Amino acid sequence: MAAEDDCVRKGGHLASVNSEQEQTDIGEYLNTKDTGYFWIWMGLTDLTKEGKWRWINGASLSYSNWLPRQPNQWGDQDCAYLSHKNFKWGDTECDEELFYLCEVY
């Protein structure tokens, strides 16, 4: 995934959201950015096993914040985005070109 490749070049990964506090912090951060009505990639996929969502940095999925009726695997959706609606999560196809949020350690 091109967005993840770019995050790795920067020394991190696509962001993981591991708690309600981190979700709130990320939302506040993104509200300062001009992302408008676009979705934003984070580092969550079910590429290795359909329906088994895993953080790209290896962290386990201890917290989740899916939109209603997501993930819905419409067609073949294996990557998760942060929605412009309160930054809740949905799944979509991994080759979409979206804004993306890296987390550098």
**Positions that interact with Ca ion (CB under 5 A):** 46, 72-73, 77-78, 90-91
Q: Closest approach of Cβ 30 to Ca ion, in Å? A: 20
Q: How far apart are CA 96 and CA 86, in angstroms?
A: 20
Q: Closest approach of Cβ 45 to Ca ion, in Å? A: 8
Q: Measured from the CB atom, is 78 or 103 closer to Ca ion?
A: 78
Q: What is the Rg, in whole angstroms, of the alpha carbon atoms belonging to the chain? A: 13
Q: Measured from the CB atom, is 77 or 83 closer to Ca ion?
A: 77
Q: Measured from the CB atom, is 23 or 92 closer to Ca ion?
A: 92
Residue 82, classed as helix, strand or coil, is strand
Listed in sequence order, the DSSP H helices in 10-47 are 20-31
